[in-house]
Amino acid sequence: MSNTLQTLDRGLRALEVISRAPNGVTVADLAKELDVHRAICYRIVATLQEHLLVTRSEEGRLRLAVGIGVLASRFEQGFAVEARPVLAALANETGATAFVSAAEGQDCVAVLVAEPEHALLTVGYRIGSRHPLDRGAAGVAILAARPESPSDSEAVRQARVNGYALTRGELERGAVGLAAGIPCRNRFGTTERSVGVVALDGLDIEAASRAVIRTAGHLERVLSA
């Protein structure tokens, strides 16, 4: 006997369907996806709208609304609390600046940064700094975590083979970046992030790669919990 609450299950499935449609979805199409009568679908949509989780355009197409962003921001705060000590441990272990980055459109944005406690010289990495996804270890690692594509660069293909991306001097002269993707799939799509370290020449690549890959697995479990 199932313990699923049918109405709640339909509402969550509706959010999942809508989240996969960047141009929105009609009520008729949503009802078909959920395999419910259109009248039932209207009630589901009305409930989601009341909680600001869904909005309807003038053309009648459904899209995710501001309430999703509010929930996501609260989740991010919780993730940051759990991720900071993990990131600090990575920075101290490697003697390099550690970071978590996230994909935002075609850009890669630093969302968390930690510096080693006892290093005399570190590479500055500011929260909110951004660069194209196809440049720098953080972005390449995110691209490598995606399904293979004929348009993948050699750097992305190599990162997929190695399990981490390695770049030298792409974003800052003399800096070596190493990062691994953090795949995290949930009911609302895929959260694209990477974790890595950046240092001046002298980074122990073998030791740093092991530490970064281990940290990526740790943060993936945090995100999936």
**pTM summary value:** 0.66
Domain 72-224: CATH class, spelled out: alpha beta
The owner of tokens 């996969």 is: 20
Q: What residues does each domain of the chain span?
A: 6-64, 72-224
Span 6-64: which CATH code? 1.10.10.10
pLDDT tens by residue, the chain, 225 residues: 456 688 898 999 999 888 878 788 999 999 999 999 999 999 999 999 988 888 888 888 998 886 776 666 565 667 788 889 999 999 999 999 999 998 877 888 888 899 888 766 566 677 777 889 998 999 999 999 988 989 999 999 999 999 999 999 887 788 899 999 997 654 334 568 999 999 887 789 999 999 999 999 999 888 776
